Structure 1
């Protein structure tokens, strides 16, 4: 008998500009292969800051998608850029709750799901999941991905308090809380020691082979194997969690020493989002002719660019040791040399070492980055940079992760 899961997710096509889209999209695409029929409850496109139709074709026609009323407080409820704080707690899409809970109840009556699943990083999704769980009695799995709160995070104390409230309400009422790294799950086991450790599960992110097959057929967006050497960072660069300043200082120092120049090295930052800050930093350090800032492109084109780059760059601060950037799994599948600027004690570094990759340096040390960048460029040019073995790569496929989710849903539905 086919079982059904109601999936509550803000990040879903046609939303654009977040790697978080891939997790729910691929789960909904592959769950039917493992006996689960997904029904997706998302937000109306007007709530998204940016939209693109390039991944709509990846939603199977068999998947029922309902897009509930939602507003973005910063765009729809503001006057001259200002809006009431209460309208944006726990996040700017709190109005989604008003549209999604009635819509979710209608979907429950129509489709009779066996399990409810909601996914962060939009905290309102867990509030919707909690309400539908309490109103229907259907067991609920909460996909946290990364920790929702930490010491000093979110930076705003009022928002942090709201997140703490949502976090505790979710953990105490869900059947299982799912995280994308062992470190994140361990943080919550320690934070809620009175709960069974089995409540906290790990389902990592991954890559999709179908997308890479399509990307390989596209024209390359970057030169490969010839000067200048292209080091690509694909995705958002957060000023704190992925602070680029030590990297810019290191590149400037290498330029001053004559180790690199604009003729033989380019640092390409694709869809970084904080372009003005990065542009100022590049000019400040005298490397504006080396740093190239590029706008977002469709997902498969971004993968094609990864496949063509000479090297791929990861940035991750020590404050995020319990997190792994979702693009890391795509980097591994791209089979291009990877330079990771991250804490050697974190989950990102551990994942790379497990894959046989040791080109790692601390993000917060200019001198470490200088030495690592010299070594990395030399090894990559000689074809000697370490690559992940394909058996390690294949274990990270989205289909394999979906089977893990299906197994968990089977367990939850069976227990209920």
Structure 2
């Protein structure tokens, strides 16, 4: 059995975007002849589920303990509000400013100080290949350095565009942006294979860096339809089931603003608007609040306390439509939320600039896709949903395609990764 040393800055039990992709690879790699060894950032504020403990019982994990961690802790727990004081807001603002000044991200300090421990573990394992994922992009700094020090092939996994985007994941200073671009070019040149999570991102990077097709690949994120009764607790929010309820399982923010769906709702008749509610979690950002007030749609947008991701099945049951929305500037990405939604049997309404999302929804029979500027078409779709609900029918009918579910399963995507690793570690 061959060995892969995996740099996954975020990994379970951390409940953040980016932890599930490496986790799903790790728990299936042994089925394809690969022993995974994981290096990650420790999160003491959360615990693995029983299922995760069982799945990882034979996996070696090197956890790096940070001196402090503002990213840890559950995003929320039901029934518990996170108090926001002036001092905590000031601390957040200072941390965001500091992060914007540091090339890659501030985890680089932990990785640099822990590199001796990482290298010692990697040498003891003598891996056949190195794999790293970002963001955090400092994970690729570790992957690149290990690859050079151990003289092993390296796969760089880009879950999102790093610098080749009009809307960065985090705010960057002019210096950090310049340095990030230098580092991205260096890492892409050094990697034996660069893997992306959308074909649109892969094409954009091929064109910008003039990469050969053999240099890159796309491996989608994955999903596996689950028992809808299986949930970590029940969501007890009171939802008016007489209305068409759109649910955005997250917070509207800079990367995923409320405007795209608000623009469509604003085109409905006053009577139709009253039949629609859009639910999200956490407070609206000031810009979204001002926009909704200007559109006179504020009361249509209902916010709830954040819940644990493991409560998703319970939350989704109360929705008529699961809303996927992202900024029109994020042309190449497929939001990770899509794969979370595909676990459910609820129809998905996607409003995003990447048509690749529509292709996936069509293949899975899971919903409909519109681009951000298609407000008139979205309004007609919502109007039809309102009329069907008033007749006692389902607002939107879908027919899921089990065969396609298999094509996007964790086993299938892990097989793709294992194939690439085998190719890069086989002589001749």
Q: Same fold (TM over 0.5)?
A: yes
- 2:5 is matched with which residue? 6
Pair 225,114 (structure 1): closer, same or farther in 2 beyond 3 Å: farther
Name the CA distance, whole Å, in 1 between partners of 2:100 and 2:315.
42
Name the CA distance, whole Å, in 2 between partners of 1:53 and 1:258.
47
- 1:398 is matched with which residue? 410
- Cα pair 1:73 1:93 within 8 Å, conserved: no
- 1:310 is matched with which residue? 320
1:163 and 2:163 matched? no
- Identify the match of residue 154 of structure 2 among 111, 128, 140: 140
What are the Cα deviations for residues 133-164 of structure 1, in whole angstroms up to 9, with x where unaligned?
A: 11111111110122211254436333322221
Pair 252,388 (structure 1): closer, same or farther in 2 beyond 3 Å: same
- 1:374 is matched with which residue? 383
Pair 86,182 (structure 1): closer, same or farther in 2 beyond 3 Å: closer
SS in 2 for 1:45: coil
- Cα pair 1:71 1:95 within 8 Å, conserved: no
- Cα pair 2:167 2:330 within 8 Å, conserved: no
Question: What residue ranges of structure 1 are gaps of 5+ in the alignment?
Answer: none
Cα offset, 1:197, TM superposition: 1.2
What are the Cα deviations for residues 282-322 of structure 1, in whole angstroms up to 9, with x where unaligned?
A: 44544343322123322221133224421111113343232
Name the CA distance, whole Å, in 2 between partners of 1:297 and 1:124.
29
State the TM-score, normalized to the length of structure 2.
0.82
- Identify the match of residue 213 of structure 2 among 175, 179, 197: 197
- 1:58 is matched with which residue? 52
What are the Cα deviations for residues 186-225 of structure 1, in whole angstroms up to 9, with x where unaligned?
A: 11211222x431110111001145xx23753666637899
- 2:41 is matched with which residue? 43
What are the Cα deviations for residues 54-100 of structure 1, in whole angstroms up to 9, with x where unaligned?
A: 5475141111111224467989xx89926757972221222122134
- Cα pair 1:314 1:342 within 8 Å, conserved: yes
Name the CA distance, whole Å, in 2 between partners of 1:333 and 1:217.
12
Pair 321,137 (structure 1): closer, same or farther in 2 beyond 3 Å: same
Pair 175,152 (structure 1): closer, same or farther in 2 beyond 3 Å: same
Of stretches 137-146 and 328-337 in structure 1, the one that deviates more from structure 2 is 328-337
Listed as ranges, the matches of 1:5-404 within 5 Å are 5-16=4-15, 18-45=16-43, 51-55=45-49, 57-59=51-53, 60-70=56-66, 81=94, 88-150=102-164, 152-154=166-168, 156=172, 157-193=174-210, 195-209=211-225, 212-213=226-227, 216=230, 221=235, 226-239=241-254, 241-254=255-268, 257-261=270-274, 264-270=275-281, 274-275=284-285, 277-343=287-353, 346-356=355-365, 359-378=368-387, 382-383=393-394, 384-404=396-416
Name the CA distance, whole Å, in 2 between partners of 1:85 and 1:337.
38
SS in 1 for 2:273: coil
- Cα pair 1:359 1:372 within 8 Å, conserved: no
Cα offset, 1:404, TM superposition: 1.4
Of stretches 83-92 and 195-204 in structure 1, the one that deviates more from structure 2 is 83-92
- Cα pair 1:41 1:104 within 8 Å, conserved: yes
Name the CA distance, whole Å, in 1 between partners of 2:51 and 2:230.
18
Pair 220,44 (structure 1): closer, same or farther in 2 beyond 3 Å: closer
Of stretches 93-102 and 26-35 in structure 1, the one that deviates more from structure 2 is 93-102
Pair 181,220 (structure 1): closer, same or farther in 2 beyond 3 Å: same
Name the CA distance, whole Å, in 1 between partners of 2:291 and 2:100.
35
Name the CA distance, whole Å, in 2 between partners of 1:397 and 1:358.
18
Q: Number of matched residues? A: 400
The Cα RMSD (Å) is 3.2
- Cα pair 2:18 2:159 within 8 Å, conserved: no
Of stretches 302-311 and 401-410 in structure 1, the one that deviates more from structure 2 is 302-311
What are the Cα deviations for residues 82-124 of structure 1, in whole angstroms up to 9, with x where unaligned?
A: 6757972221222122134212211112222111110011110
- Cα pair 1:337 1:387 within 8 Å, conserved: no
Of stretches 87-96 and 392-401 in structure 1, the one that deviates more from structure 2 is 87-96
Cα offset, 1:366, TM superposition: 4.1
Cα offset, 1:277, TM superposition: 4.8
Name the CA distance, whole Å, in 2 between partners of 1:304 and 1:74.
28
